[in-house]
Structure 1
């Protein structure tokens, strides 16, 4: 009896368990739907979990945060899932519609090895697990599935049929050339194999396997890679993905599969979230009902003042902070932090779901926007506190001192807003004023000397305090140039970016939420976002 092939995607393993006791007729129908699904999967695209479950079972689960699967990984598991559904249904030869081939028959038909067949199964060739007369279990490939695979993979099958062993002398030449290229150019395994394949006329994978075999047998390997990625490499992969670099390019650079790169990125996202030490229980002052109030769902995402002149004008026009609004914002940020902390605590240690990570990250972006509103409400108080502490108008300070005073005051308010607990019944202005007074002590000790050069407020450019609201902004906020380039994006891309990051007044959206709102797929949302991030880098390279 052949051993069941392993399932690598946890959600498919869970689905297999749920279907274990399904009626036999339903399992047979699901096997047919699975066979129809395999030819439609594009290895380079992403597919949401609820869509995959619907295509296989016929019902769409109500998943709050569905995972997203890379097409290549999904193809790699479909045949394994078909095996399990076949076993659950106790499939017999009579259940297989039309003719079918055993492993040996298909090897002879295609003139390939068993290992090659296993590779094709990971590319979407569906096999059924059939119990023959006498109780023996064999894998069978329906002829309709085989013919469909042949139509899609004619070139690769022709290559496999025409495969000839590389002569030993040519292998030795390839190894010598690879060693020289590695020393001179520092190429990766894939780069080396691709270039030597073009020179030698052998297939890329053939050359790659020759080099891997040599490295496995010899004490002086040519390409010292293939082991676990270093911590530094994982961080670089994460940063590249966050900047919108193609996952395919990252995979090629490090000699990994796309699925591996996605896993590295998601594991890094989970690691960074866990480092935040978020609360896992409702904190004092938290109130989930506050999340439904208009004051925490509208008017968000305003840019920071860019010059001292604009700060002075905004501070002068700012109304006295409304107690209800102030407390609602504070309660909402505490509720979001508690919800996010519980979600992060429940993340899988080995394969965190992309949808769960996106929900947590989107919540944290919302927290930062709420905190920005708390800080923004204190601008009038900030100006008064600065001038009271320094004993002179802010506009009379030197440009450097004015910038420092503004930055110190806003950072002090951010710190106070982060710790503000509305359950105690106080007001943010009290703690913010004390924090500003302490923060400005260095400027009081070395004030701007009388007669020092001063610039006009309109020429004094301030630092952007909205990018210092929370530690997670270091990796969750996009390149600041993206916001300045919004007018260069097409209308759909601009809408996606503004809503994704909460720059349109409303809370930020997950990819799933945004897809539903715009009637596009989550894959399309992520693709648009990544293209926009890449455009920032491309624009910087041209400037």
Structure 2
């Protein structure tokens, strides 16, 4: 059974009782928690206030609006019972009724200890008792009877289990060897065990353990030889990057001598480590712990308090494209600002909670997708706040322009201060963000401008007037960046219209997107096809791009 509580409120309750409640009081709470557990229905929701009252007899001061799902409640109650009982250190002879160990339960129902462990995950309530001087898992007779009564079919099925005969073991080994030879490196032990179990009406775990025992006893004829040497971090990183670039899992499994499932596991492990290494800061708020607040927090941006759409001022003539574009973004009023800041920090806090319980070695794709989705949503809200305040940076930079200060350098420096201010602003205090951001930007200018002037004075060449008088015929920097960005977006859009293999080959052959250029032979090895086939796919992809570029009237040097 998972040792992690589904909700921190229940864990907090357990910690409080373990620290402050007398021993006899804790025993009473364990009994009440087990009685409550028998009443919980997985499909229903339960207020935390009700659960706390049923266990302790008092109403909680916090978490008053919290509602928990029945399935999570059942899991957390079983964990609370086990954890509280471990603080009591009750001997088996002190229990009011007989206590059975895991082994004794197994013997009574003719099942393995693994089956008993599985029953615990499915609802069999366990406690911790002192047996022969050591704390061990035990089951009260009444707890066992309640589980058997509610899981009669499952217990009967386990009790009818029969040991494998020698003929059945030989059949399992024969089938496994045939599957492994038919698809070498493609199927692993678990997948083979699952298929054989389905054919022979046996449990997957029984077949898996049989095959592992065979390989251990016959190393010279092992069906699933021990895995290759563990991969180092660099090799794992290479697998992750190549998969991101489009190399199939089948090809990676063949090249690295691993199964498909192990490659997926390695990819998720690297992906999880990279997520955990990313810095994630947020300002917490009490409403984040109240599920009922989520609808209001994630609601669309409210209309202005005045009820009128914000007026978009007309950009002055002669402004560079970058500055002119700032006038297209409407300003935010106080309520809209607070709404976006609360939403951004709420999304970050949800991602943070998921990251806290993330185990890279066991990370699942759905968990990683959800964390990345939350972080991307938070980034989108953050960018919305930044865009609405870029005009503030320009207005402050204008006041600091001097003979020795470049305006666009000041704007760039001020933008970085604005981004940091968005991260650090505590929206719960009710202050206007523009006040906080203005102070942060001006404080940064007060520090960086003197430093820049000092460095400039130390490296005077004596030819400054000549440099300033010389004509600058270069392309406007911002126009160049805008054109380059438009070109990159156009190329990305064109590549998206190719299929996966065409896109990978074109990207790798021309070194697009920062990837290294690779030869036809290298790509053929990675994709598992011949060099000539790679050339044909490349030619087909280039022809498609030429046609798309012609339709959009684009001139691309690579074509």
Q: TM-score, normalised by structure 2?
A: 0.45
Q: Which has the higher contact order (CA 8 A, sep 6+)?
A: 1
